[in-house]
Structure 1
Amino acid sequence: MIAAFRARSRTQRALICLVGAGLLALVVLEGLNAPYVAVVAATVVTGALSLLALFAPERWFWQCVSAAAAASCALTLVETQVARRPENTPGMVELCALLLVITRTVRRNRPLKAIGLSAAAACAAVILPLRIDYWDENLYLLITFIAVCAVPFTVILGLALRLRDTTRAREIEDVRQAQRLEYARELHDFVAHHVTAIVAQTKAARFTADAGHAQSPEDLDRMLAQIEQAGAQALGSMRAMVSVLRDPAVPAATRPAGDLGGLRTLTEKFSVAGPPATLTVDPRVSDRPVPPEVATTVYSVVQESLTNARKHAVGATHVEVSVAPHPEVPDRLEVSVTDDGRRSDERGRTHAGGRPHEGTHSHEDGARGDRAAGGGYGLVGLGERVEGIGGRITAGERPGGGWHVHAVLPLDTLTSH
């Protein structure tokens, strides 16, 4: 949540703080209508909890909604028993927040969870007007309006937003699929055509040389010119594709060669929606240049490991990411990602599908496990990438519980092959 807040612009952060301060001020002003200090404090607390539930991150959402609904209902029931109650407002900011919580619940959560949380928030919102001092016909009309009109409206609004999100996601996926097909056709029709011509002409030259036929300088020059022309056409086709993919008005995100700074952003983003992740980069690594292909591979190892931890590490409370020189081989780099979670059923099937029981395995075993689980081919591609620069990767269960991914990469790729 903090990382997401920091990622916004200064204007957005200032606006968020201003709106939050204004809502809290309204909650306090409404609370001051209560005749007792204890009730004033309780009203401020329940109002703040309702606002917190409305803006809480997804991983804490159901806890915040449950706490807000329970506290609101408890305060309402207590106020119905006291001799004096607020004369002006029962807490309209809290009421609006609870109704909007219903909309967010229906929009973002699975049906069973949405029904339970929505029912709790709706119950708190319907009985909230009973905190007012005068119970007359207008009060009962307000309660009826909330129960019959406001709550169903927020539910319908949540369903409409949920449908819009689903439709938009499908449209985006359709557009991406169409783009992938178009790029595949471009590669096949133009780039592959020119590369094939280069290969064919090169084979012809080698065949002529192997046959022992001496070629005149004119023939060699003509053949090399044809190869040069095909290569230039292939480059032109690639530039055309790049110009379509890249918006010249938006500068491309660049990273200096050997920069591992992206790992910090990666772990911070992971911590927003997953268990807290800590990153430790040894100063001996951060102070020296790292080849670009090694830096990219380190990023891929950490990214894939964090993705698997989010998917499969049930009950994980912490993930540790470490990048340091190998203690025994100084020209090697160690990348370690460890979590303390239990394995989900999917990961359990993976273990049964081909991973050895010793706790660690090479990426080939992991690849078989991934396929046996019916999941993606993340470890397969990752293992190929790591081996492509002369490294190795292992992954498996730790003796004390949890999962450990360990990669050893060369710091100098020129001497590793």
Structure 2
Amino acid sequence: MISALTVRVRPRHVLLGLAGAALGVLVVLEGLNAPLWPVAALTIASGLLCLSAPAVRQRHFPRRAAWAVAGSALATAAGSLTTHRPENTPGMVEAGALLMVIVRAVRHCPPRQAVALSAASAVAAVALPLRIETWDSLTLSIMALLACVGVPFAAVFGLCLRLWDALRAREREAVLREQRLGYARDLHDFVAHHVTAIVARTRAARFAAGAGQAPSVEDLDRMLAQIEEAGSQALGSMRAMVSSLRDTAAPAPTRPPGDPQALRDLVDEFGGTGAQAELSLDPRLAQLPLPPETGITVQRVVQESLTNVRRHAAGATRVTVRVALRPDDTVEVGVTDDGRPDTVPSGPADGGGFGLVGLTERVEETGGTLTTGPRPGGGWRVLAVLPAKDAAPTR
């Protein structure tokens, strides 16, 4: 139990505790300055109550602040009506605590509640010098200083903190939104590619069986093996994604992003579905490693393009994937096919509609461009132009 408490104690908590204890001692000393013990006790109680208000949890703060303001006003009224009042120190620690109440009310409370608590705290803080025995020019100066400088400064400071909190919340929301979009793109890239392969091979088997051409035992075993392999790859991709979301300390993949072997695996896997696939890689890429963002995007462009060929390019017999460097320090990724466009739009079951949107977002984030459209000689073409080098740091 002692070790657990020791672990939870932080230096910041220790410093805050020491500061609170020192301010509490000052409140007691200021209260003892009153000639009458009832007034002294009331002054000490109101001072400690005001000192504790800014330190409570937010859900308890409005009620504690209201009690603190009421106690301070009661102590001021009682002290000003007595015939024996202190000659000095009307409660400067209490005044500072009331100003902190204004800061916290403006920062965290709803507008109406913040205005009410701030106004009541301001009146209580300005009225504190009325506890002094002699109301001279010094007393009026202290009251004017609190009213014209202390209260406005506390209100403006609380408003600045409120705006800063709102800005931080907006930035966090933007970061979370970007993370959600990234997860959606990764989920589509990792899983939809393999699931599409499963659907395409299953449809091919059903089409062959429906046409009265029952596949042989060897062909059937080969189709089922391909479906099993695609399902295992989809399951592995899903597990890898879940692991990356659950464990940020997981080791990084040994294969660098955009590795040529990964592109060859994608093309070879696609070639197993029946259409002939060809990969053309610029040999200069071996001596010029691409930036991580560009390498990942190259792989995603090829993956998404091959997935769309499976879905929409009816009768495609040849697919060409070309990755080459351009003279302007950019890398060009082109995927073309000779199929005719599918006249039946993809439904929700196919998962269509989000692939190109996410791919366009990913390409534009790296500073590249993506164009898609039919080829003059027939078929479809996807062309991405991406930076081959890291962007120069801005000064």
TM-score normalised by L of structure 2: 0.55
CA distance in 2 between partners of 1:191 and 1:202 (Å): 17
Q: How does 1:372-387 map to 2 (within 5 A)?
A: none
**Residue 59 and residue 6 in structure 1: after superposition, are their counterparts in 2 closer, same or farther (change >3 A)?**
farther
Q: Who is 2:138 aligned against?
A: 138
CA distance in 2 between partners of 1:94 and 1:174 (Å): 41
Q: Who is 2:167 aligned against?
A: 167
CA distance in 2 between partners of 1:68 and 1:14 (Å): 25
Structure 1, residues 262-312: CA drift from partner, whole Å, max 9, x if none?
xxxxxxxxxxxxxxxxxxxxxxxxxxxxxxxxxxxxxxxxxxxxxxxxxxx
| Comparing 174-183 and 154-163, the one that deviates more | 174-183
Give the letter aligned to residue 27 of structure 1: V
1:40 and 2:54 equivalent?
no
Give the letter aligned to residue 189 of structure 1: D
Q: Who is 2:154 aligned against?
A: 154
CA distance in 1 between partners of 2:224 and 2:11 (Å): 59
Unaligned runs of 5+ in 2: 251-395
Q: Deviation of residue 148 (structure 1)?
A: 0.3
| Matched position secondary structure for 1:186 | helix
Q: How does 1:1-400 map to 2 (within 5 A)?
A: 9=9, 14-206=14-206, 208=208, 213-242=213-242, 244-246=244-246, 248-249=248-249
| Matched position secondary structure for 1:237 | helix
CA distance in 2 between partners of 1:217 and 1:12 (Å): 73
**Residue 247 and residue 138 in structure 1: after superposition, are their counterparts in 2 closer, same or farther (change >3 A)?**
farther
Q: Deviation of residue 14 (structure 1)?
A: 4.9
Asked whether the equivalents of residues 89 and 132 of structure 2 are also in contact (C-alpha less than 8 Å), the reply is: yes
Q: Deviation of residue 233 (structure 1)?
A: 3.4
Asked whether the equivalents of residues 39 and 78 of structure 2 are also in contact (C-alpha less than 8 Å), the reply is: no
Q: Who is 1:297 aligned against?
A: none
Q: Deviation of residue 212 (structure 1)?
A: 6.3
CA distance in 1 between partners of 2:244 and 2:39 (Å): 63
**Residue 30 and residue 166 in structure 1: after superposition, are their counterparts in 2 closer, same or farther (change >3 A)?**
same
**Residue 247 and residue 155 in structure 1: after superposition, are their counterparts in 2 closer, same or farther (change >3 A)?**
farther
**Residue 83 and residue 56 in structure 1: after superposition, are their counterparts in 2 closer, same or farther (change >3 A)?**
same
CA distance in 2 between partners of 1:26 and 1:134 (Å): 22
Q: Who is 1:312 aligned against?
A: none
| Matched position secondary structure for 2:59 | helix
CA distance in 1 between partners of 2:151 and 2:214 (Å): 89
Q: Deviation of residue 150 (structure 1)?
A: 0.7
**Residue 12 and residue 150 in structure 1: after superposition, are their counterparts in 2 closer, same or farther (change >3 A)?**
closer
CA distance in 2 between partners of 1:10 and 1:75 (Å): 36
CA distance in 1 between partners of 2:79 and 2:15 (Å): 35
**Residue 15 and residue 212 in structure 1: after superposition, are their counterparts in 2 closer, same or farther (change >3 A)?**
farther
Structure 1, residues 315-340: CA drift from partner, whole Å, max 9, x if none?
xxxxxxxxxxxxxxxxxxxxxxxxxx
CA RMSD of aligned residues (A): 3.0
| Matched position secondary structure for 1:129 | helix
Structure 1, residues 69-114: CA drift from partner, whole Å, max 9, x if none?
1221221122223233223411222111100100111111222221
**Residue 16 and residue 116 in structure 1: after superposition, are their counterparts in 2 closer, same or farther (change >3 A)?**
same
| Matched position secondary structure for 1:133 | coil
Q: Who is 1:279 aligned against?
A: none
- What percentage of aligned pairs have identical amino acids? 57
Q: Who is 1:374 aligned against?
A: none
| Matched position secondary structure for 2:60 | helix
| Comparing 194-203 and 239-248, the one that deviates more | 239-248
Q: Deviation of residue 145 (structure 1)?
A: 1.0
| Matched position secondary structure for 1:223 | helix
**Residue 6 and residue 156 in structure 1: after superposition, are their counterparts in 2 closer, same or farther (change >3 A)?**
farther
**Residue 13 and residue 154 in structure 1: after superposition, are their counterparts in 2 closer, same or farther (change >3 A)?**
closer
Give the letter aligned to residue 182 of structure 2: E
| Matched position secondary structure for 1:85 | coil
TM-score normalised by L of structure 1: 0.52
Structure 1, residues 4-62: CA drift from partner, whole Å, max 9, x if none?
x9996566655554444333222222212222211121111101221232223333333
| Comparing 31-40 and 53-62, the one that deviates more | 53-62
**Residue 9 and residue 34 in structure 1: after superposition, are their counterparts in 2 closer, same or farther (change >3 A)?**
same
Q: Deviation of residue 174 (structure 1)?
A: 1.7
Q: Who is 2:383 aligned against?
A: none
Unaligned runs of 5+ in 1: 251-417
**Residue 125 and residue 249 in structure 1: after superposition, are their counterparts in 2 closer, same or farther (change >3 A)?**
farther
CA distance in 1 between partners of 2:157 and 2:248 (Å): 39
Asked whether the equivalents of residues 23 and 93 of structure 2 are also in contact (C-alpha less than 8 Å), the reply is: yes
Give the letter aligned to residue 163 of structure 2: L
| Matched position secondary structure for 1:46 | helix
How many residues matched?
A: 246
Give the letter aligned to residue 28 of structure 1: V
CA distance in 2 between partners of 1:184 and 1:59 (Å): 37
CA distance in 2 between partners of 1:9 and 1:246 (Å): 28
Asked whether the equivalents of residues 50 and 94 of structure 2 are also in contact (C-alpha less than 8 Å), the reply is: yes
**Residue 6 and residue 139 in structure 1: after superposition, are their counterparts in 2 closer, same or farther (change >3 A)?**
farther
**Residue 64 and residue 190 in structure 1: after superposition, are their counterparts in 2 closer, same or farther (change >3 A)?**
same
Give the letter aligned to residue 109 of structure 1: C
CA distance in 2 between partners of 1:86 and 1:242 (Å): 69
